[in-house]
Amino acid sequence: MAQLTASVYTSHVPAIGAAIDHGKTTEPYWQPVFKGYDFSKQWMKDNTPDVIFLVYNDHATAFSLEMIPTFAIGCAAEFQPADEGYGARPVPTVIGHPELASHIAHSVIQDDFDLTIVNKMDVDHGLTVPLSLMCGQPQAWPCPVIPFAVNVVQYPVPSGQRCYNLGKAIGRAIASFDAPLKVQIWGTGGMSHQLQGPRAGLINKEFDNNFLDRLIADPEGLAKVPHIDYVREAGSEGIELVMWLIARGAMSAKPPKVVHRFYHVPASNTAVGHLILENQA
Ligand code: DHB
Ligand code: FE
């Protein structure tokens, strides 16, 4: 059977992608950000999974106001990096895993969560920046990736509780796939940030670090935090953090092993948070 080995959590910021693509990672502004991922890149090499199930949000790139799926699973054989207005990032094509994606779609939908099935989609910085942070600049990504897009851009957005419960269903789906695959689940986006309006630039270190503490040790309680608390405390884009609860919900009930924790402000307008949690055998 497939086995969920670990979960990875990281912010995404388009400027981080640009810093990597333009060779600026050692500049004084960026060096402390990338330093937090040195451990992670080595860990990825030592713990390369067979598949990554990558929970992220699209930023009106593949979807627009014309069509807004709350939860969308990418079942295609491949996904191209999107052109977000500056040309596509010079990163590898994302290779999918249609068999596992279809199995998860079947299992999760029969488990009462309504997913949108996507057979063609480009993937924006929400997906490619986490891959770059964890894998550097390889010729090809180290394994297939199943993109799982969550609407946290256009209201109404799903609750933390819904995301956490969905993560549990995804965990059950992975565990019932009849092939000996090692699977990681990644929760991305966040941490506190607000990009528009009078509160643009908002960052809340206390909220973020409490979120990290509770994601590790009290995910059940954290799942109960209502969306309005994220918006008030972590800014309008801080709501991206509910996606981390999907990854955490998929982990086994035993307390996870914390193998890496990192926090830095700011990167562009965003607080950068990062965790690697391993499932205990
Ligand atoms: C920034 C952060 C985001 O999450 C995003 O999607 C776009 C921009 C920023 O910090 O600039
Ligand atoms: Fe974002």
Q: Which residues pair with 72 in a beta bridge?
A: 116, 149
- Average pLDDT, integer, range 17-31: 97
Please say if the pLDDT value at position 281 is more than 90: no
User: 132: closest CA among 30, 246, 251, 5?
Assistant: 30
What does pLDDT average to over the chain? 98
pLDDT digits (tens, 9 = 90+) for 48-93: 999 999 999 999 999 999 999 999 999 999 999 999 999 999 999 9
- Average pLDDT, integer, range 39-49: 98
Catalytic residue among 59, 193, 260, 264: 193
CA atoms of 144 and 254, how far apart (whole Å): 27
Q: Whose CA is nearest to atom 4 of ligand 1?
A: 13
Q: Whose CA is nearest to atom 3 of ligand 1?
A: 13
User: 83: closest CA among 34, 17, 19, 148?
Assistant: 17
CA atoms of 132 and 111, how far apart (whole Å): 33
Q: Whose CA is nearest to atom 1 of ligand 1?
A: 13
Q: Is 125 a catalytic residue?
A: yes
Task: Choose which residue among 194, 199, 203, 270 to substitute to test ligand 1 binding: the one with the highest number of ligand atoms within 8 A of its C-beta.
Answer: 270
Report the percentage of the chain scoring pLDDT > 70. 100
Q: What one-character DSSP code corresponds to residue 64?
A: B
CA 240 – ligand 2 centroid, Å:
7
Q: Whose CA is nearest to atom 6 of ligand 1?
A: 13
**Which residues does ligand 1 sit against, CB inside 6 Å?**
12-15, 59, 193, 195, 237, 268-270
Q: Which residue type, as a one-letter code, is found at position 11?
A: S
Which residues lie below 8 Å from residue 240, measured CB to CB, with a gap of 6+?
57, 152, 188, 189, 190
Q: What is the pTM of this model?
A: 0.98
CA atoms of 268 and 265, how far apart (whole Å): 9
Q: How many residues does the chain have?
A: 281
Place of tokens 């790139």: 61
The confidence score (pLDDT) of residue 47 equals 98
Neighbours of 143 (CB within 10 A): 18
- Average pLDDT, integer, range 156-162: 98
Please say if the pLDDT value at position 153 is more than 90: yes
The CA angle 143-96-152, to the nearest 5 degrees, is 105
CA 180 – ligand 2 centroid, Å:
34
Report the nearest atom of ligand 1 relative to the CA of 59. Answer: 6
